[in-house]
Amino acid sequence: MSLLTASVFLLLLLALSAFVSGAEIAIAASRKIKLQVMAKEGDKRALHVLYMQEHSGSFITVVQVVLNAVAISAGAIGESAISPYLLSIFDHEALASVISFVIITSVFSLLADLMPRRLAMSNADNIAVKLVRPMMVLIFIFKPIIWVFDGAANLLFKAFGVSTVRQDDMTSEDIYAVMDAGAEAGVIKQQEHHLIENIFEMQARTVTSVMNPREHIVYFDSNASSEEVVETMIRQPHNKFLVCNDDDLEHIIGYVESRQFLALVLEQQEVSLNDKALLKPALFIPNNLSLFEVLETFKSTGADFAVIINEYALVVGVITLRDVMSIVMGELVTVEEQPIVQRADDSWLIDGMTPIEDVVRALGIISLPYSENYETISGFMTYMLRKIPKKTDSLEYGNYRFEVLATNNLKINQLLVTKLDDLP
């Protein structure tokens, strides 16, 4: 075979190998979600790529058959065409064969393997839809060979109990990773990233993590006078106040709205907390609901205020629609007091009742140990110290030291969290 003829055959084999190598990487690496979007926009080639991903046996078989055939053919043609010329130069048959082998292998590795694969990886989705139909033609041509090899492979996988079904299930971790990558690339704004992250967090956080705890609930006895009620409403302003019998939170009969009550007082009307027109029924929810479930409950009932009870039917707190939405909106919802205050020396002052999820996010750590056993930073200290914390009690975890600054009876009011790296 002349050098010219051999060169033409080698170029054809080079082009075929480059095409198959690029198509292999592009189709395998193309993103399912992106292909689905392209298909909805009318690109039918995207459907072919999705089908080939789901039925990868034929695709992989034809790739391997073609690449192996090209490698063998290129080696044989290159050896027969180049070796005679090298033999005349080096006058050593073995050396000429080795050099011709190295030349052919290097050229095909570079031009037919490495470069097409890297190009396909850089823009997998668009390249996949462009190459999928020629690849389908190759699959049709090699159908008999594919049937033999693919069938044999399926029998072996079945015999060993190995599944070859592609797993494309999207998990919350995958979505978090996509959002993080989008935020780093500037596609998603930082504020948008936090909003989306907060929405997913609603499914994991329970209602008790953001509730107003029992000790902070302001309520009235049903027999309280109008003067007592007005004085309390002025001193501790809220939109809604629970009403109880016998001044006992376990005997809630409903709630009153401060605006409506004060309007009647200003009109100098006789007002009673037992008035059915004034007293509204309270919504009771269990303390193990997620924030997402609470939001759905508010939506279905039309309420925006609920009383939280535990498994013993004891009141543990109250929650409002504003409390739930504050988790979604984050810093966009203004609050009177910030539960976490970062200081200039890489330390944080944290309220003891701050939800543990907010602490983890503020400190930039992955998680705190045994987090299923507590919901607040106060609960973390109690669980880790294995006692009721007192002032100056401290512990270290990771690169942080947690120290109790102030307590009230048995409750932790404030903690100081400091990075250990910044300590003298």
Domain end residue (candidates: 102, 131, 160): 160
Same domain, 156 and 263: no
Query: Rounded mean pLDDT of 67-75?
Result: 84
What is the domain count for the chain?
A: 4
Q: CATH no. for residue 258? A: 3.10.580.10
Give 140's contacts (C-beta < 8 A, 6+ positions apart). Answer: none
Q: Tell me, what's the pLDDT at 192?
A: 67
Residue 53 lies in a domain: yes
Q: Which pLDDT value is given to residue 391? A: 92
Claim to verify: residue 14 and residue 123 sit in the same structural domain: yes
165 lies in a domain? no
371 and 383 together in one domain: yes
- Is 166 among the domain residues? no
When pLDDT is averaged across residues 389-406 and rounded to a whole number, the result is 92
Residue 361's domain comprises 337-422
Q: Look at residue 167 and tell me if it is in a domain.
A: no
Interval 36-58: pLDDT, tens: 888 888 888 999 988 888 877 78
* Percent above pLDDT 70 for the chain: 89
CATH number of the domain residue 383 falls in? 3.30.465.10
Please indicate, yes or no, whether residues 378 and 235 belong to a single structural domain of this protein: no
Torsion of CA 160, 161, 162, 167, to 10 degrees: 180
Question: Residue 283 has which token pair?
Answer: 């919504």
State the average pLDDT over residues 264-268. Answer: 85
In what helix (H) or strand (E) does residue 285 lie, and over which residues does it extend?
A: strand 284-286
Give residue 173's pLDDT band: very low, low, confident or very high (50, 70, 90): low
Indicate whether 295 pLDDT > 80: yes
Q: Which of 175, 195, 153, 124 is nearest to 55 (CA)?
A: 153
Span 329-356, pLDDT tens digits: 765 444 455 788 888 778 999 999 888 8
Residues 44 and 120 in one domain: yes
Coil, helix or strand at residue 394: strand
Taking residues 248-264, what's their average pLDDT?
92
What mean pLDDT do residues 391-408 have?
92
- What are 324's two structure tokens? 């739930």
Inform me whether the pLDDT recorded for 79 exceeds 80.
no
**Residue 19 shares a structural domain with residue 146:** yes
Of 63 and 188, more confident: 63
Question: pTM (2 decimals)?
Answer: 0.56
Bridge partners for 412 per DSSP: 407
Instruction: Please tell me whether residues 321 and 352 are part of one structural domain.
Output: no
In three state form, how does the secondary structure of 156-212 look? HHHHHCCCCCCCCCCCHHHHHHHHHHHHHHCCCCHHHHHHHHHHHHHHHCEHHHCCE
User: Do 409 and 350 share a structural domain?
Assistant: yes
Q: Residue 152 — φ and ψ, nearest 5°?
A: -65, -40
User: Which one is predicted more confidently, 220 or 270?
Assistant: 220
Residue that is last in its domain, among 314, 331, 348? 331
The answer to whether position 99 is within a domain reads yes
Q: Is residue 232 part of a domain?
A: yes
Determine the pLDDT at residue 81.
Answer: 74
Residue 49 belongs to a domain:
yes
408: enclosing H helix or E strand: strand 400-408
**Predicted confidence band at 89 (pLDDT cuts at 50, 70, 90)?**
confident
At 356-388, the pLDDT tens digits run 888 888 888 878 888 888 888 999 999 999 999
Is position 69 within any domain? yes
pLDDT at 85: 72
pLDDT band at 254 (very low <50, low <70, confident <90, very high): very high
**Are 144 and 280 within one domain?**
no
Same-domain pairing of 214 and 360? no
In this structure, are 200 and 212 located in the same domain?
no
pLDDT class of 32 with cuts at 50, 70, 90 = confident
pLDDT over 80 (residue 243):
yes
**Do residue 32 and residue 147 come from a single domain?**
yes
Check residue 337 and give its pLDDT: 59
Q: How confident is the model at residue 172 (pLDDT cuts 50, 70, 90)?
A: low
pLDDT at 252: 94
Higher-confidence residue of 389 and 78: namely: 389
Tell whether the model's pLDDT for residue 222 goes beyond 80. Answer: yes
- Domain final position from 331, 363, 394: 331
On the question of pLDDT at 423 being above 50, the answer is no
